[in-house]
Amino acid sequence: MLNRYPLWKYLLILIVCVVGVIYALPNLYPQDPAVQISTTNGSLGDQQLDRVTRALAEDDIQVKSAAMTGNNTALIRLVDAEQQLPARDVVDEILDDDYTVALNLADSTPSWLTSLSAAPMKLGLDLRGGVHFLLEVDMDAAVEQRLEATASAIRADLRDERIRYRSTDIDDNALHLEFANSEDRDAAREQISQTFNEFQLENREEGRRAFLDMTLTEQSIQDIQDYAVQQNLTTIRNRVNELGVSEPLVQRQGPSRIVVELPGVQDTAEAKRIVGATANLEFRLEARPDTPDAETETFPFRNSPQRTATLSRDVIITGDRVSSASQGFDQNGRPQVNINLDGTGGSLMNQATRTNIGRNMAVLYIDHSTEMRTVTQDGQQVQERIPTTSRSIISLATVQSALSNRFRITGLDSPTEASELALLLRSGSLAAPIYFVQERTIGPSLGAQNIERGIFSVIVGGLLVVAFMLIRYKAFGVIANAALAVNLVLLIAAMSLLGATLTLPGIAGIVLTLGMAVDANVLIYERIREELRRKTPAQQAIHAGYGRAFTSIVDANLTTLLVAVVLFSIGTGPVKGFAVTLSLGILTSMFTGILVSRALVNLSIGGKPVKKLWI
Amino acid sequence: MRQFDFMGKRRIAFIVSIVLTIVSIAALALLHLNLGLDFTGGTVVELHYATVPSLDEIRALLANSGFENFSVQTFGAADEILVRLQQTFSNDVGSQVVSALSSSGAQIDLVRAEFVGAQVGDQLRDQSGLGMLVALAGVAVYVAFRFQYKFALCAIISLGHDVLIVLGLFALFQWEFDLTVLAGIMAVIGYSLNDTIIVYDRIRENIRLSRSDNLAQIFNEAINQTLSRTLATSGTTLLVLFALFFLGGDMIHNFAISLILGIVAGTFSSVYVAAALLIVFKLERQDLIPVKKEEVEEELP
């Protein structure tokens, strides 16, 4: 019989629809404005929550619920979004510095839905407000830093092996060692080739002087750069976590860039300082008076730039060896940073200090920064980055006894500086300098407005289409509209399931999908009308209509999908969101336009003797 | 049902298309696209005033505070102000602008501050151009595979025509061309292609069914048969786009414009450019109906 589906087809379509409804459902539950508390020392519990809720009640802030959400995090849901900011201030005041308090929007998905791992769509920054950074990792500096570290290690090695060298010199991707004669050079080459196999070694003579040129291979340059980006990614992630932002995004984009998105953050300056900070520490011994000049460097003091001290070129350890750091005060009330080193760092420190009791050790504060300058080059304005590195001594103290893995640093200006330094040491330093190439701040009011307008235009657009289809195709319009509704549900479900982020262009994509989704049905119905005009019986007309429109629909949609995929691959951020909605929309509209609408037609009039079609 | 003689008027349509294309190319070459922040790099600060401010006053205040190469315009409403700066981004240019402007006593909220490095913009520009070409090439291959190379050629010309006209109008009216507009234009490629494929599909079907060699006639029939579908789908899509245009807010205003223009151009081009070009390229029945291999039979004894 014509126009009947086997039972399994109906069931399959039904199951898809039910699954769609379940996974689209969480989006209907509004998000609660909330304050999130987190700590690193594990002392957050019901007791603190009690204190906080009591204080909030005193300030007339209505609390919906307060509960622990993990070992070290708690969530206080509020009734009124207006009270979110005052609530944060209250909570921040009650809890001390060990706790991070942040604004959050908490899902209120019921537990039976979360148990099916259904969750609402994530909102993009343009819809919820926040900060977006695009960072570029300075690849050249990454290589240069690695060469400096290698030079330092080689110097130590050569001294241990009692091989005399004159100087070490770095220029692009190569390290040049100078020796007094070729015997020393050959001995050094023997030694170096064992340990540093990422270099290509080459001998060079200039008059009497003998050089060893060490050039990095292409592969190892790439490895270094890759490592630098990965390492920076980890570090920035750590730092962002310290900021206590809910649902931050830190992601690599392309070979040398990192995207950071901090929803809800409005204070760009602070976020930027923490994310982009490049401060690090180095521990070095003060040079002995008889140390040759090639092995020493002179630095000013941070607090009194006139004063300088001459330090050995060799670094005992850097801030990278710090396993934990916290801010504190010494007995005079001056800020200090308490530091714990990791195993390697502890033994390196111990070795260096054990043999040098009585000498001075300096803590060197290093800050990489880049300045942008506009210069005119070949008649065009070009922006040039000038990286500057400032190194200054924050403390110089006599080594009283062999140091182990715990000690403290003094000589800092303020408690803020101490706590920021502690944070930076904890989260690790950046393996290469970074700079900001893009930055967007979207106010929360703009976000709310965007959602409101977006949803409104989806509703209006949808209603217009529904009305159009009803007027033009009457009874079949009802079926097309039902298919359209299913399409919207499936699209939202698919986006929620895939964890796609909803952006403003994404909403535009949904609206556009609504307009284009009826295309399949329009094609089919026009075919049916045509068949009817040729006096084909009703059931056959339906059958032929669906059958003949099929190839047109597939061809047309596949090509559009192709374009959407290209858009996805070149786009970033919001545009990617648009491409995702467009592609998903094409897939769901093919399903609903062909299968769902057919199933509805088959169910209602399939196989029955129908004389006239309301189309 | 009334039959329109589309192909008979194809010369007029060609003239219209060529004129539009020339105007677009001229607009692009002479006026250039008004590229948005995404492509040029620079800084944009959007502010909300409690009361409607005077733009000249804002300009004077900014100039007094040492800002250079800036432009001030309203954005959507009269109390929403957009300040564009050429200068590179400093840590808190947003708050600098706010404090410079609020020195006159006005109440100002910072709505958003955006900065894009020049280098990122350049890269994006190259990438977008490349993306569009890749999309067109992919489409061409698909059409050539599903139909025939003459169809592919005509489809590409017709898509290029649509894109060019939308770009040309953006240049002509100096509407801002940002990343969302680029997305809109890619969607136009997809949409216009959709239309073209539907018409081609019908042309192919009719050529196979009919015995006539009068292609203009076959095309006319095919276009007339798909006309109500074309208008219905364009209609619903335009309906939702107008909803977006009027209600979606300023940030997707230009996006909606690009799609509205693109859909009008796409509908026109799928009828006239894409189909009529097939006649120009001398499509023949044999192109679609495989020639039977009769030689093999002749060799048989």
Per DSSP, the residues of B94-156 read HHHHHHHHHTTT--EEEEEEEEE-HHHHHHHHHHHHHHHHHHHHHHHHHHHHHS-HHHHHHHH
Indicate where chain B has its CATH 1.20.1640.10 domain(s): 7-35+120-288
Mean pLDDT of A297-319: 83
Q: Is residue B282 helix, strand or coil?
A: coil
Strand partners, A106: A32
CA distance A62 to A59: 9
Q: Mean pLDDT over all residues of chain A?
A: 82
Q: Do B197 and A449 touch (CB under 8 A)?
A: no
Task: Answer yes or no: is A373 within a domain.
Answer: yes
Please write the tens of the pLDDT for every residue from A126-166. Answer: 787 788 888 888 888 888 878 887 887 888 788 888 888 88
Structural domain ending residue among the three candidates A395, A414, A441: A441
**Domain total for chain A?**
4
Q: Which residues between 173 and 192 in chain B have a beta carbon less than 8 angstroms from any beta carbon of chain A?
A: 179-180, 182-183, 186-187, 189-191
Please write the tens of the pLDDT for every residue from A85-121. Answer: 778 778 877 777 667 777 777 778 888 888 888 888 8
DSSP code at position A301: B
Q: Do B240 and A465 touch (CB under 8 A)?
A: yes
Q: Is residue B250 helix, strand or coil?
A: helix
Q: Which of A93-97, A131-135, A584-588, B206-210 has the lowest mean pLDDT?
A: A93-97
| % of chain B with per-residue pLDDT over 70 | 91
DSSP β-ladder status, B70-75 and A434-442: unpaired
- Per CB-CB distance under 8 Å, the chain A contacts of B262 are none
- Per CB-CB distance under 8 Å, the chain A contacts of B252 are 504-505, 508
- Per CB-CB distance under 8 Å, the chain A contacts of B95 are 269
Clarify whether residues A290 and A431 are in a common domain: yes
When scoring A386, A469, A570, A576 by the number of chain B Cβ atoms within 10 A, the one with the most, hence best to mutate, is A570
pTM (predicted TM-score)? 0.74
Q: Which of A228-237, A498-507, B119-128 has the lowest mean pLDDT?
A: B119-128
DSSP β-ladder status, B42-49 and A360-377: unpaired
Q: Which residues between 17 and 46 in chain B have a beta carbon less than 8 angstroms from any beta carbon of chain A?
A: 46
User: ipTM > 0.90?
Assistant: no
Task: Answer yes or no: is A115 within a domain.
Answer: no
- Per CB-CB distance under 8 Å, the chain B contacts of A383 are 88, 117-119
Nearest to B138 by CA among B80, B93, B186: B186
Look at residue A492 in the predicted model and tell me its pLDDT: 92
pLDDT at B127 over 50: yes
Beta strands in A264-414 (DSSP E): 280-286, 296-300, 308-318, 322-329, 335-341, 360-377, 380-398, 406-409
Structural domain ending residue among the three candidates A379, A411, A441: A441
- Per CB-CB distance under 8 Å, the chain A contacts of B189 are 563
Nearest Cα residue in chain B from A552: B198
Indicate where chain B has its CATH 3.30.70.3400 domain(s): 42-116
Clarify whether residues A424 and A484 are in a common domain: no
Q: What CATH number is attached to the domain comprising A99?
A: 3.30.70.120
Mean pLDDT of A573-596: 85
Task: Answer yes or no: is A166 within a domain.
Answer: yes
Clarify whether residues A50 and A149 are in a common domain: no
CA distance A108 to A120: 9
Q: Is residue A31 helix, strand or coil?
A: coil
- Per CB-CB distance under 8 Å, the chain B contacts of A578 are 180, 183, 187
Nearest Cα residue in chain A from B123: A570
B7-35+120-288 maps to CATH 1.10.260.40? no
Q: Are A477 and A171 in contact (CB under 8 A)?
A: no
**Cβ-nearest to B251 among A445, A450, A572:** A450
Task: Answer yes or no: is A256 within a domain.
Answer: no
pLDDT at B295 over 50: no
- Per CB-CB distance under 8 Å, the chain B contacts of A474 are none
Task: Answer yes or no: is A259 within a domain.
Answer: no
When scoring A519, A527, A568 by the number of chain B Cβ atoms within 10 A, the one with the most, hence best to mutate, is A519
Task: Answer yes or no: is A130 within a domain.
Answer: no
Q: Mean pLDDT over all residues of chain B?
A: 82
Q: Is A464 on the interface with B (CB under 8 A)?
A: yes
Please write the tens of the pLDDT for every residue from A480-535. Answer: 999 999 999 999 999 998 888 888 888 888 888 888 888 888 989 988 988 888 88
| Confidence grade of residue B265 (pLDDT, cut at 50, 70, 90) | very high
Mean pLDDT of A53-59: 85
Look at residue B168 in the predicted model and tell me its pLDDT: 94
Look at residue B290 in the predicted model and tell me its pLDDT: 61
Range of the domain at A185: 139-220
The second-level CATH assignment, the architecture, of B42-116 is: 2-Layer Sandwich (3.30)
Please write the tens of the pLDDT for every residue from B94-113. Answer: 777 777 877 777 788 777 77
Clarify whether residues A477 and A596 are in a common domain: yes
When scoring B251, B258, B270 by the number of chain A Cβ atoms within 10 A, the one with the most, hence best to mutate, is B251
Clarify whether residues A82 and A211 are in a common domain: no
Q: Do B143 and A436 touch (CB under 8 A)?
A: no
Clarify whether residues A472 and A583 are in a common domain: yes
- Per CB-CB distance under 8 Å, the chain B contacts of A548 are 205
Structural domain ending residue among the three candidates A198, A220, A242: A220
Clarify whether residues A591 and A576 are in a common domain: yes
The DSSP H or E segment spanning A404 is: none
Clarify whether residues A308 and A366 are in a common domain: yes
Q: What CATH number is attached to the domain comprising A178?
A: 3.30.1360
Q: State the smallest CA–CA distance between residue B225 and chain A in angstroms.
A: 8
Q: Do B249 and A449 touch (CB under 8 A)?
A: yes
- Per CB-CB distance under 8 Å, the chain A contacts of B235 are 468
DSSP code at position B301: -
**Cβ-nearest to A511 among B116, B139, B243:** B243
